[in-house]
Amino acid sequence: MIETDIIIIGAGPVGLFTVFEAGLLKLRCHLIDSLPQPGGQCSEIYPKKPIYDIPGYPSILAGDLTTNLMEQAAPFKPGFTLGEAAVSIDKADDDKFIVTTIKGTQHIAPVVMIAGGLGVFEPRKPPIENIVDFEDKGVEYIIKDPEFYRGKRCVIAGGGDSALDWAIYLADKKIASEVALVHRSASFRGHLDSVQKVINLAEAGAIKLITEAEVVGLNGGEKLENVVIKHNSGDQVTKETDHFIPLFGLKPSLGPIANWGLDIENGAIKVNTEDYSTNIPGIYAIGDINTYKNKLKLILCGFHEGTLAVQSAFARIYPDKKNILKYTTVNGVQGF
């Protein structure tokens, strides 16, 4: 049994920053995440993608943001249970909560903070009969490290920002030896400037733009060798490639969280904006996992929510102690 002051479910940016805010109040935290490393989506989905709305950073790579948050939290010595999804929350006799993971690891604390982002993610896969046969053999649904595609022929499918951005990146940086972008429509859903960049790269011969078409077949032996592209006219062509990357987005779901007795609305946890508490006293929800009027799903908003939730948690854990706000500019950061 791992005992701590605050169990944080989700080790993404909001969960990591909450460790820092809790540490300032001398509260210990232990984080649980189904992913094998901290950082959430920033580490797993787009570590090399720049983020532009973090205060003080005109631009910062998602992976670097995770590194900085880990460094910021380090003085407060957080514990981690990684690669294990939290599957249940039970109430102990002493008004504490027991959180159990899928591997049976148990954690106990008087406060639980759910910082699970958008929940559990699954890629939206195109309806290609044998696509599972080529997963990790030339088919990827997420680009984690663009260098993986150095000198390779890539076919990207999709019409949103992710497909446009990665097609631009792999072509403009001359990482992939060949980039083809396939989209079922002649118009795109992404930002207009990204669409124009793709058009410009296509005119320059850096991207092969194939519109009003979709990938309908995959062929190969131990690895992917080619894709079958069907045009809306009915014509089909076979294109040699090393990688097929369908970027149709991810399907989020609450997963086990939906069964924990929390008030759920449109796939998110309802909270009181006074302190981001849920309907169960002692359980808070911060970041993209929660919902309330005028909610904005931004990392900086999650930082604010975690900060207020920690103040409330302190009052719950130490009802007889007065918490006096101390500015770090005056007191510095004193770890454990």
Looking at the structure, tell me whether residues 152 and 105 fall in a common domain.
no
Confidence of residue 49 (pLDDT cuts 50, 70, 90): confident
Looking at the structure, tell me whether residues 129 and 20 fall in a common domain.
no
Cβ atoms within 10 Å, residue 77: 12
What single-letter amino acid sits at 192? L
**Cα 178 from Cα 68, distance rounded (Å):** 34
Mean pLDDT of the chain: 93
Query: Does 44 fall in a domain?
Result: yes
Query: Does 31 fall in a domain?
Result: yes
Question: Are the CB atoms for 4 and 99 separated by under 8 Å?
Answer: no
pLDDT of residue 254: 82
Query: Does 308 fall in a domain?
Result: yes
Q: Which CATH number covers residue 108?
A: 3.50.50.60
Does the pLDDT at position 175 exceed 80? yes
Looking at the structure, tell me whether residues 174 and 321 fall in a common domain.
no
Does the pLDDT at position 265 exceed 90? yes
pLDDT of residue 251: 74
Does the pLDDT at position 203 exceed 80? yes
Tokens 């904006």 appear where? 273
Domain range for 137: 125-248
Question: Are the CB atoms for 271 and 292 separated by under 8 Å?
Answer: yes
pLDDT of residue 326: 75
Confidence of residue 334 (pLDDT cuts 50, 70, 90): confident
**Cα 39 from Cα 155, distance rounded (Å):** 28
Looking at the structure, tell me whether residues 117 and 256 fall in a common domain.
yes
pLDDT of residue 120: 67
Query: Does 241 fall in a domain?
Result: yes
Does the pLDDT at position 121 exceed 70? no
Q: State which of 213, 248, 283 marks the end of a domain.
A: 248
Looking at the structure, tell me whether residues 183 and 35 fall in a common domain.
no
Does the pLDDT at position 329 exceed 80? no
Under 8 Å CB-to-CB from 265, ≥6 apart: which residues? 291
Q: State which of 197, 229, 248 marks the end of a domain.
A: 248
Total domains present in the chain? 2
Q: Structure pTM?
A: 0.68
pLDDT of residue 228: 98
Query: Does 22 fall in a domain?
Result: yes
DSSP 54: B
Greatest Cα-to-Cα distance within the chain, rounded to the nearest angstrom:
75
Q: What percent of the chain has pLDDT over 70?
A: 99
Q: Please compute the mean of the pLDDT values over residues 90-112 and round it to a whole number.
A: 95
Does the pLDDT at position 40 exceed 90? no
Query: Does 23 fall in a domain?
Result: yes
Looking at the structure, tell me whether residues 129 and 231 fall in a common domain.
yes
pLDDT of residue 55: 93
pLDDT of residue 281: 97
**Cα 276 from Cα 289, distance rounded (Å):** 11
Looking at the structure, tell me whether residues 256 and 294 fall in a common domain.
yes
Looking at the structure, tell me whether residues 10 and 68 fall in a common domain.
yes
Looking at the structure, tell me whether residues 223 and 187 fall in a common domain.
yes
Q: Please compute the mean of the pLDDT values over residues 125-137 and round it to a whole number.
A: 95
Q: What's the length of the chain?
A: 336
pLDDT of residue 255: 83
Looking at the structure, tell me whether residues 8 and 99 fall in a common domain.
yes
Looking at the structure, tell me whether residues 117 and 257 fall in a common domain.
yes
Confidence of residue 46 (pLDDT cuts 50, 70, 90): confident
pLDDT of residue 153: 98
Confidence of residue 212 (pLDDT cuts 50, 70, 90): very high
Q: State which of 208, 226, 248 marks the end of a domain.
A: 248
pLDDT of residue 336: 79
Tokens 């992917």 appear where? 224
Query: Does 336 fall in a domain?
Result: no
Does the pLDDT at position 320 exceed 80? yes
Q: Per residue in 218-247, pLDDT tens? A: 999 999 999 999 999 999 999 999 999 999
Dihedral of CA 110/83/285/77: which sign?
positive
Q: What are phi and psi of 315, to 5 degrees?
A: -65, -30
Neighbouring-strand partners of residue 291? 270
**Cα 266 from Cα 282, distance rounded (Å):** 23
Looking at the structure, tell me whether residues 159 and 301 fall in a common domain.
no
Give the burial class of 235: count Cβ atoms within 10 A of its Cβ; 0-12 exposed, 13-18 middle, 19 or more buried.
exposed
Dihedral of CA 279/306/44/246: which sign?
positive
